[in-house]
Amino acid sequence: MKYLVLSDLHANAEALDAVLEQVADERFDATLLLGDLVGYGAAPSRVLAELDRLPAPVWSVRGNHDKAVAGLTDGADFNVVARTAVDWTARRLGADQLARIRELPAGPVTVEEDLVICHGSPADEDVYLLTTSEAGGAFAATDARVVFFGHTHLASLFALEDGRVFGGLLRGPEGELELLDGVRYLFNPGSVGQPRDGDPQAAYMTYDSARGRLRWFRVAYPIERAQERIRAAGLPGVLADRLASGM
């Protein structure tokens, strides 16, 4: 099965459009969607509508912003900027759109044998996997050989081989990895709509489970258009500013 892997779209329609344009000529068997469809960005309706353009079937999990927008959590642990965007998003969306977000499943979700998706970690959908020690806990929480996660907005990978965990950030405009027998993996495609690793370009991955091949990509998009949309909506200016720095 060949998958398109997207995470943390965050209501950035321009970024999602650029990713879909770049993969338009490729054939996929399914899409893996790792949560946070909305929040921060100012195009939640458009992003939700564009999900219908993703290669089907689409396997999804919910993110913490999805939960807050849908009213499943009160967002009390969100900072003021994130909270403001959550409230704005919830007011913008119709009942059908909110229901669609509310129905996103909690991770982890098993996609196929040895392939699991989650937002934060297979141990807890809301935790951040940033260090090798945190990755070790995530490996212990599942038997799956390959796990895709999001939430940190950092394109990254961790590998578990002979009881030791290695890993780090994935740099550059693109790259690929042939999976090795006897090694387990945690992959984060990075964020489509709000990258935080200093590269403002939209991030995504593709994964061929039969061939054991992972590829990662960055794609430029018209950031200023997404910024204008955020400012016109009256959302906090920092949400527009940070798109340009990728931080």
Q: How far is the CB of 187 from Zn ion (least distance, A)?
A: 16
66 binding Zn ion? (CB under 5 A) = no
Residue from 3, 5, 16, 36 that binds Zn ion (CB under 5 A)? Answer: 36
Q: Contact with Zn ion (CB under 5 A): which of 3, 5, 6, 8?
A: 8
98: Cα within 13 Å, side-chain hemisphere: 15
158 and 129 Cβ atoms separated by less than 8 Å: yes
Verify binding: residue 17, Zn ion, rule CB under 5 A. no
Cα separations in angstroms, 35 against 149, 182, 197, 236: 9, 29, 18, 22
Contacts (Cβ under 8 Å, ≥6 apart) of 52: none
Q: Which residue is nearest to Zn ion (CB)?
A: 36
Give me the residues paired with residue 109 across strands.
117
Of 62, 218, 54, 245, give the one whose Cα is nearest residue 151. 62
How far is residue 192's CA from residue 88's CA, in Å, rounded to a whole number? Answer: 20
Q: Describe the crossing of helices 223-232 and 237-245 by its angle, rounded to 10 degrees.
A: 170
Residue type, 194: Q
Task: Give me the least distance between CB of 216 and Zn ion, in Å please.
Answer: 18
**Residues that contact Zn ion, how many (by CB under 5 A):** 2
| In the complex, minimum distance from the CB of residue 81 to Zn ion, in angstroms, rounded to a whole number | 13
Q: Which stretch binds Zn ion (CB under 5 A): 1-9, 44-52, 164-172, 221-229?
A: 1-9
* Residue 12 DSSP one-character state: -
Nearest approach, Cβ of residue 119 and Zn ion (Å): 8
Select the span of 29-37, 133-141, 195-203, 222-230 touching Zn ion (CB under 5 A): 29-37
Choose between 8 and 14: whose C-beta lies nearer to Zn ion. 8
197 binds Zn ion (CB under 5 A): no
Residue ranges binding Zn ion (CB under 5 A): 8, 36
